Structure 1
Amino acid sequence: MNRGINILKEVFKVLINPKKGWDNLSNYCDREFVDLKDIDKYRPIYMLIPLFALIPALAQFLGMTVFKDLYFPEEMLKYAQQENNQQLLLYLERLREIIDTGNISKIFLISLIYYIAELFRPFIFTVLLFFLISAFGGVRNPYKALTVATISLIPTWITSILLVHNSAFTVMTIFIATFYTLYITFNASERFLCIPNDNSKTFQFIIVFAILYLIINSIFGIFIQNIFITKVIFS
């Protein structure tokens, strides 16, 4: 119990000061092999995934129920009309109808889909991270990769509470949080993932990772939106 609390304290330190925080967790850095028992060390960190992944889903639910006017401003429909995007306009009108009529079953289902999608996000992050680690000379340890993914995504998850209000400020804040996520990952590359800093390998690593992560993350978001959310809205 005390060990778990201590590890969570170290997670908080990483979020506040990634450089010093990862140094404190780097005592696992010499592990060149994977022991299944290692998961016990990291379990308190992994337990944060279902907790923080709930924030975006909760924001969606509250936005569609409690903060209707903030979640769905009139400007959204006006924008679709100005752009003459009939598909987007139809989508927004149907979503507006669901929100205005208070269709709790569909609102809950949409929020649930967002939650499940967020649960998958750190594992997508981990797979990409794991394969790039070996390419750049780091330690191939899936537990450590998932640890970095979990901690790095926390700022993005926290700021997603602003999704109750669809605005330029919300988009900008989440955009900044995404860059902080990449900054945390960058600091983990040498200190925790043991990627050697020869010939600026850590900079090369984070550039490649950032490009691939942003592309894959966007594709994943579009897939969830078009395949699952759209089916719920038009069902």
Structure 2
Amino acid sequence: MERKIALITGATSGIGKACALILAKNGYHIIATGRRAERLDELKKEVPSGIEVLPLVFDVRDKEAVFGLIENLPENWKNIEILVNNAGNAHGLDPIQSGSLDDWDAMMDINVKGLLYVSKAVIPGMCERNSGTIINIGSIAGKEVYPNGNVYCGSKHAVDAITKGMRMDLNPFGIKVIGIHPGLVETEFSVVRFKGDENRAEKVYQGFEPLVAQDIAEIVEFCINRPSHVVLADIVVLPTAQASSTLVNKKL
């Protein structure tokens, strides 16, 4: 039986970790990438028996690390069938006139350039095999713009556009390209956005039931198990209480 391989970026927590675990349950050996080695080591202990996890510790912003590690994978890890581009962050929630250049660089480097680097390293193998699935985790912020979202929304609009362009360019090779765009998901996202202010982050999810990482992972699972002629190209998923980026029915 052919060995099935999936690569997930940002697999140390949240959506990435949930995707890694659910793909492992579907028989995929996991290449898990992230910046926290100890989290990747913990992931090894949580996958089903018989499933291997290859941890790759790097920041997707580091072009040399991305290409160096992915292009030099051990032979039995090279045939990546599924790529989940999950790594991404929001930094700050400031109006454009007072936004931090460091925050802007981080969001564009991680959310856009990091996705491109990893994809560029993986896609040639998929093209050679004329098969593969790429799942880009975007955001409702890639479909709408909201006040103080400026650069973050711009980065996620770029993910949406890149996903559509990938689908066109890779169509001759039979590669499925899927965009999943969640609304409010309770993960470490808001803690990062508010730079460690856990009280402020908790308030984002108060008064309603947000999505959780498992919800997104189950959508990924559904997508990868469709017949070969079916691709769920573009998916927006919101908690029931959320109608748009800024409209959330909170019962406070």
TM-score (norm 1): 0.29
Q: From the two aligned structures, give the one with the greater strand fraction.
A: 2
The structure with the largest helix share of the pair is 1
Structure with bigger gyration radius: 1
Larger RCO, structures 1/2 (Cα 8 Å, 6+ apart): 1
